[in-house]
């Protein structure tokens, strides 16, 4: 069960958001819940799709033991969610640990087309033992289709069966990948029509790779349902997603247009990366829903505790007053590891006596949050018990719910991304004219 | 040889920085070069230290073949530079590739104290075949000292020799690590007194781990000297570091307070991370050199081309006009990899016909830069030929020179970090009182 502690926002007078002001905005909650429901988005209903979950698990079981490596061909929303799941629930050194005889396949995510990445990834693969997961909502993403064509040829050259080495995740009906799947009877899972790429982590996009690595996706879905239960409650105190969004919104209008997501958990920095896309693409919009030019957008920044205390904290503490810091704190970080003190010469480290890494890690979070607050830098903390399937689904729903509410608060369409089309068009034009 | 193309800044009228204005600021260049020289900083002179380079190479040769793994215990400036070097010059899958029989040791960088990281790293290690590199300028960094104490005990428990399995990099005279090195005759390299952590990549901090992985540090140093040669030229056209800094500075005063560093090179995203610390800590300051409260700071954001076109470009194109995008473009990205087109059904991808991944990658950069410019989003491009030892040193000096000039332009001390002390003090107090 997630808890959020907002008090360090109100303890920063210059941030300009009092608890009363924040609670008062709650009057809009019932109206905005209604409004959000009219959007017809599926990010919160797809987690009830037991049929697809069952098919994913069945497919994963059938592949068990066949593959040493999974290669995801996907970019943006087709990569960041599954990376977040993998990093949260697998060993930090998953691919290396796998090489030592563990049973789950290694994971390679080709979310770029740098030739060096393609070449060096290919060198790692035994194609006969590789399953390619091709992910594109539209079925036409140029980078992903190119990679598919490339590895398809490699598989064919090895006289291996395309059908055995590829699985697609794409729209149920439209797009080139769906046509290929139909024509060649390649296994394919669907991304529901009403879920965009960056909202798709709890569809086959995130769940199929997870299941193939032996992760219990039913637990993730159950915890997501748990998290979802409060999103549509028109009750300020119960609705964490609303509380978070309304704090972000009010602070934005006080000049805090940068949101730093700083988990104190090595296993969660990819989750921060997933959130970075969700927040950036959903709220960064030139026009609001009335067609007026607004150029709004919260700039997400990812940071990692304690690591970035030694890289970014100086700026956060002393620089422009343009940031809100969002911490994620894990109360049970696993087995205690003690810090030994060996000799008398360490008297200057006496403050570490009897302290574990677990405690030092958590106290550094406390010291950092307190110091930022003292410097009038607003921050709040998302508290979870541990990083596991049972909290991950809840976190996904919290972040998705909060970003959806931000869309309603800013009155922008949080579910499209019109601003990337110009670059795609210019790229195509440059290729045609070259 | 690096070239920078600034024209997309001047092609964005609403960014408010004309070429004339930018060139006019060059009148301050001679004065600020003089001023910078009075700071007595060593980041630009340490690259002449042939003696230390020789000692590093000698030490690395003596270790050859002895170790399977290098573990760096270091955080912030003691981690980011060596990670940048390793990622730029090693295989992207260095540790996995190493497992397949390559001769250079694997690299683990413990730049956090999350117990999960410590535990999972330890599981990867054969301690008898592990060399620990303990890096702390002050010799008193609590996180690093704790990790040292922990692994020292592990090594001792295995009846292995401390002297054989540890090497220190710290201040030549002061600090606890130096005392231990002297008392126990542990090999130790020095960080010059006039070089702070984030400026230390071309000291033993970055060079020793590099040399231990078989990287040619003489080439890096030679290219750094090449890059340095222009930093102190009071000639606008020849001084790339100045050109870069003055563009960043002028745009900051037009509201572009976020700088996105977006290399189109998978091998350079860790370099962007290194730069992120350098820029954030150096310029993010509450007070200027006259003691006046200024709260200045450029917020660095790292992004990766083409990956983040599918994650952040929407925000950069349509969101608030608060960003400058800095691209790094690599003109020779290695051996061509063609995109095969297989069937008639791919007519919608005809724009890919005859195109290589190399070309697509570069054209996507062009399309993105052009689209941003068209949307009045200022950007400039650092052009390099390839990612190798010969460009890496130049890049380090370019970025360091530019940040040093930014310090002079903003009139802040770019070489200290007073803002992190409060959090450290509060952490210590919390531990004492608990």
DSSP string across B147-162: HHHHHHHHHHHTT--H
Which of A123, A296, A360 is closest, CB to CB, to B319? A296
Q: What is the 3-state secondary structure (H, E, C) of B173-217?
A: CCCHHHHHHHHHCCCEEEECCCCCHHHCCCCHHHHHHHHHCCCCH
Share of chain A above pLDDT 70, in %: 98
The answer to whether residues B78 and B137 touch, using CB atoms and an 8 Å cutoff, is yes
Question: Does residue A331 share a domain with residue A199?
Answer: no
Chain B positions in Cβ-Cβ contact with residue A97 (cut-off 8 Å)? 120, 123-124
How do residues B141-197 score in pLDDT, each as one tens digit? Answer: 999 999 999 999 999 999 999 999 999 999 999 999 999 999 999 999 999 999 999
Which pair of tokens denotes residue B87? 């990622």
For residue A98, the model assigns a pLDDT of 66
User: Number of structural domains, chain B?
Assistant: 2
Residue among A331, A384, A382 at smallest CA distance from A223? A384
Asked if the Cβ–Cβ distance from B340 to A150 is below 8 Å, we say yes
Band (B332; pLDDT cuts 50, 70, 90): confident
Residue A342 has pLDDT above 80, yes or no: no
The conformation of residue A346, written as its DSSP 8-state character, comes to G
Burial string for B258-274 (b: 16+ CB within 10 Å, else e) reads bbbbbbbbbbbbbbbbb
Q: Tell me: do A111 and A20 sit in the same domain.
A: no
Q: What is the pLDDT of residue A102?
A: 58
Scanning every residue of chain B, which has its alpha carbon at the shortest distance from the alpha carbon of A177?
A: B346
What number of H helices and E strands is found in chain B?
18, 12
Whole-number Å distance between alpha carbons of A97 and A101: 7
Residue A333 has pLDDT above 80, yes or no: no
- Between CA B93 and CA A106 the distance in angstroms is 12
**Does any CB of chain B come closer than 8 Å to the CB of residue A417?**
yes
Strand partners, B134: B73, B168
Is pLDDT above 70 for B345?
A: no
> Closest-CA residue in chain B for A154?
B340
Q: How far is B305 from chain A (nearest CA, A)?
A: 8
pLDDT for B323 beyond 60:
yes
With contact defined as beta carbons under 8 Å apart, do A324 and A369 qualify? no
State how far the Cα of A33 lies from the Cα of A205, in Å rounded to an integer.
27
Residues B99 and B245 in one domain: no
Q: In terms of Cα–Cα distance, which of A395, A353, A337 is closest to A206?
A: A395
Helix (H, G, I), strand (E, B) or coil at A178: helix
Of A93, A316, A427, the CB nearest to B120: A93
Position A101 pLDDT exceeds 60: no
Rounded CA separation B308/B322 (Å): 18
Mean pLDDT of A99-120: 87
Contacts of B149 in chain A (CB under 8 A): 339-342, 346
pLDDT for A434 equals 78
Instruction: Report pLDDT digits (tens) over B228-267.
Output: 999 999 999 999 999 999 999 999 999 999 999 999 999 9
Amino acid A328: pLDDT:
98
pLDDT at site A344: 66
Decide if A91 is inside a domain: yes
Q: Which residues of A touch B422 (CB under 8 A)?
A: 317, 371, 374-375
Q: Is the pLDDT of residue B59 over 70?
A: yes
Query: Cα angle at B404 between B398 and B407, to 5 degrees?
Result: 145
Does residue B363 lie in a domain region? yes
H or E stretch covering B260 = strand B258-264
Residue A39: exposure state from Cβ atoms within 10 A (0-12, 13-18, ≥19): middle
Q: Residue for token digits 């069937």?
A: B343
Residue B391 predicted with pLDDT over 60: yes
What are the angstrom distances between the C-alpha of B174 and each of A126, A431, B43, B140, B321?
Answer: 52, 59, 20, 10, 47
* Selection from B115, B432, B350 nearest residue A336 by Cα: B115
Helix, strand, or coil (residue B380): strand
CB pair distance less than 8 Å for A356 and B304 = no
Residue, of A364 and B100, whose pLDDT is higher: A364
Q: What is the CATH number of the domain that holds B145?
A: 3.40.50.10490
What pLDDT, on the 0 to 100 scale, is given for residue B187? Answer: 98
Angle (CA) B10-B16-B17 rounded to 5° is 50
Which of A91, A96, A311 has the CB atom closest to B277's CB atom?
Answer: A311
Interface of B with A in 270-299 (CB under 8 A): 276-277, 280-281, 283-286, 295-297, 299
Running DSSP on this structure, what letter comes out for residue B344? G
Residues A57 and A140 in one domain: yes
Cα–Cα distance, A294 to A280 (Å, whole number): 15
pLDDT at A336: 94
- Asked if the structure places residue B429 within a domain, the reply is no
* Residue A100, min C-alpha distance to chain B (Å): 9
B93 CB neighbours in chain A (<8 A) are 95, 120-121, 123-124
ω before B306 within 30° of 0 (cis)? yes
Q: Are residues A198 and A340 in the same domain?
A: no
Are B76 and B174 part of one and the same domain? yes
What are the tokens at B70? 């290098």
In this structure, is residue B432 part of a structural domain? no
- Strand pairing class (B293-296; B285-287): antiparallel
**Whether residue B259 is found in the same domain as residue B122:** no
For A113, which DSSP code?
A: -
Q: A98 in contact with B at a CB cutoff of 8 Å?
A: no
Cα separation, B226 vs A94, whole angstroms: 40
Q: Tell me the nearest-neighbour CA distance from B122 into chain A, angstroms.
A: 11
Cis peptide before B116 (omega within 30 of 0): no
Tell me what percent of the residues of chain A surpass a pLDDT of 90: 93
User: For the residues A193-222, what does the mean pLDDT come to?
Assistant: 97
Tokens for B72? 């760096």
Catalytic residue, candidates B27, B51, B310, B336:
B310
Residue A281 among the catalytic residues: yes
Q: Are A214 and A104 in contact (CB under 8 A)?
A: yes
In angstroms, the CA A130 to CA B90 distance is: 24
In a domain, B425, yes or no: no
Contacts of A419 in chain B (CB under 8 A): 313-315, 317-318, 375
* Rounded CA separation B173/B247 (Å): 40
DSSP state letters, A151-169: HHHHHHHTT--HHHHEEEE
**Is residue A165 a contact partner of residue A70, using CB atoms and an 8 Å limit?**
no
Same domain, B34 and B96: no
Among A94, A106, A137, A281, the active-site one is A281
- Do A29 and A165 reside in the same domain of the chain? no
Q: Is B111 on the interface with A (CB under 8 A)?
A: yes
Is residue B302 within 8 A of residue A304, CB to CB? The reply is no
Is B281 assigned a catalytic role? yes
Q: What are the tens digits of pLDDT across the range A26-81?
A: 999 999 999 999 999 999 999 999 999 999 999 999 999 999 999 999 999 999 99
Q: Which two tokens stand for residue B258?
A: 């976020």
What pLDDT is stored for residue B433 in this prediction?
A: 85
- Is residue A315 pLDDT above 90, yes or no? yes
A174 shares contact with chain B (CB less than 8 Å): no
Give the model's pLDDT for residue B97: 80
A positions 115-154 inside 8 Å of B (CB): 115-121, 123-124, 140, 142-143, 145-146, 149-150, 152-153
pLDDT in tens, B363-380: 999 999 999 999 999 999
Last residue in a domain, options B220, B251, B267:
B220
Asked, for residue B279, whether it belongs to a domain, the answer is yes
* Cα separation, A175 vs A142, whole angstroms: 12
Q: Which of B77, B96, B336 is opposite residue A96, by nearest beta carbon?
A: B96
Q: B166-171 and B188-191: which strand pairing?
A: parallel
When pLDDT is averaged across residues B343-351 and rounded to a whole number, the result is: 77
Domain annotation covers residue B423: no
Nearest CB to B114; choose among A265, A340, A359: A265
Give the distance from CA A377 to its chain's centroid: 25
How many CA atoms, within 13 angstroms, populate the side-chain half-sphere of residue A2? 32
- Catalytic residue (one of B37, B129, B185, B424): B424
User: In this predicted structure, what is the pLDDT of residue A332?
Assistant: 86
| Dihedral in degrees, nearest 10, Cα atoms A117, A118, A123, A126 | 130
Residue A427, in any domain of the structure: no
Q: Are residues B197 and B274 in the same domain?
A: no
A368 Cβ contact partners less than 8 Å away, ≥ 6 residues apart: A305, A306, A309, A313, B423, B426, B427
Look up A153 and say whether it is catalytic.
no
ipTM over the 0.85 cut-off: yes
To the nearest whole percent, how much of chain B has pLDDT over 90? Answer: 93
CB-based contact (8 Å) between A344 and chain B?
Answer: no
Q: Number of residue pairs across A and B with CB atoms under 8 Å?
A: 418
Q: Which two tokens stand for residue B168?
A: 């220190």
Q: At what angle do helices B80-89 and B269-283 cross, to 10 degrees?
A: 160
Query: Would you state the pLDDT for residue A57?
Result: 98
Maximum alpha-carbon separation in chain A: 74
Residue B54 has pLDDT above 80, yes or no: yes
- Compute the distance between CA of residue A145 and CA of residue A113 in angstroms, rounded to an integer: 11
Neighbours of B293 (CB within 10 A): 10
DSSP per residue, B112-138: ---HHHHHHHHHH--GGGEEEEEE-SS
Question: Are B239 and B303 members of one domain?
Answer: yes
Instruction: Tell me which chain B residue has its CA closest to the CA of residue A106.
Output: B96
> Is the Cβ of B388 closer than 8 Å to some Cβ of chain A?
no
Give contacts of A426 with chain B, Cβ < 8 Å.
366-368, 370-371
Interface touch A114/B266, C-beta < 8 Å: yes
Chain-centroid distance of CA A269 in Å reads 9
Domain of residue A337 covers: 2-40+231-416
Q: What is residue B102's predicted lDDT score, i.e. its pLDDT?
A: 59
Among A residues 4-63, those touching chain B with beta carbons less than 8 Å apart: none
The answer to whether the CB atoms of A299 and B309 lie below 8 A apart is: no
Of B115, B140, B309, the CB nearest to A423: B309
Does B115 contact A265 at a Cβ distance shorter than 8 Å? no
The last residue of one of the domains, among A195, A220, A245, is A220
End-to-end CA distance of chain B: 56
Contacts of A30 (CB under 8 A, 6+ apart): A234
What's the token pair of residue A156?
């064919």
Q: What is the pLDDT of residue B100?
A: 52
By residue count, chain A amounts to 434
Q: What CA–CA distances, in Å, run from A140 to A143, A312, A396, B266, B372?
A: 9, 38, 27, 23, 23
Catalytic residue among B281, B389, B394, B408: B281
Nearest by CB to residue A115, choosing from B258, B358, B430, is B358
Determine contact, residues A93/A107, Cβ cutoff 8 Å: no
Q: Both A239 and A382 in a single domain?
A: yes
């Amino acid at each position: 069960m997630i808890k959020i502690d907002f008090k360090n926002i109100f303890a920063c007078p210059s941030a300009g958001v009092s608890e009363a002001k924040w609670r008062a905005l709650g009057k809009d909650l019932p109206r905005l819940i209604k409004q959000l429901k009219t959007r017809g988005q599926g990010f919160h209903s797809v987690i009830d799709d037991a049929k697809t979950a069952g098919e994913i698990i069945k497919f994963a079981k059938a592949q068990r033991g066949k593959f040493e490596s999974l290669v995801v061909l996907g970019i943006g929303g087709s990569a960041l969610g599954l990376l977040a799941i993998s990093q949260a629930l697998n060993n930090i050194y998953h691919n290396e640990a796998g090489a030592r005889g563990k049973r789950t396949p290694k994971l390679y995510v080709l979310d770029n087309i740098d030739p060096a990445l393609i070449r060096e990834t290919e060198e790692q693969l035994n194609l006969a033992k590789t399953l390619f997961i091709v992910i594109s909502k539209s079925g036409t993403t140029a980078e992903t289709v190119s990679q598919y064509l490339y590895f398809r040829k490699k598989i064919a050259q090895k006289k291996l069966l395309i059908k055995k080495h590829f699985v697609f995740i794409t729209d149920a009906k439209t797009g080139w990948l769906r046509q290929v799947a139909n024509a060649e009877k390649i296994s394919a899972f669907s991304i529901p029509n009403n879920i965009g790429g960056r909202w798709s982590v709890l569809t086959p996009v995130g769940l199929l790779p997870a299941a193939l690595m032996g992760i219990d996706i039913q637990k993730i879905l159950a915890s997501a349902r748990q998290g979802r239960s409060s999103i549509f409650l028109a009750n300020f105190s119960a609705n964490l997603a609303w509380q978070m969004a309304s704090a972000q919104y009010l602070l934005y209008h006080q000049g805090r247009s940068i949101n730093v997501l700083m988990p104190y958990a090595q296993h969660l920095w990819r989750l921060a990366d997933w959130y970075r896309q969700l927040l950036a693409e959903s709220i960064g919009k030139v026009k609001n829903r009335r067609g007026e030019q607004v150029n709004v957008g919260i700039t997400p920044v990812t940071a990692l505790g304690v690591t970035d205390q030694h890289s970014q904290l100086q700026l956060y503490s002393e620089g422009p007053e343009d940031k809100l810091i969002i911490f994620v704190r894990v109360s049970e970080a696993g087995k205690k590891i003690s810090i030994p003190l060996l000799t008398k010469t360490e008297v200057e480290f006496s403050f570490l006596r009897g302290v574990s890494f677990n405690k030092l890690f958590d106290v550094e979070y406390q010291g950092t949050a307190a110091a930022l607050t003292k410097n009038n830098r607003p921050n709040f903390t998302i508290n979870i018990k541990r990083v596991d399937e049972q909290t991950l689904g809840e976190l996904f729903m919290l972040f998705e719910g909060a970003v959806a509410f931000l869309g309603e608060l800013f009155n922008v369409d949080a579910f499209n991304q019109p601003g990337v089309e110009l670059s795609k068009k210019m790229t195509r034009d440059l290729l045609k004219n070259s």
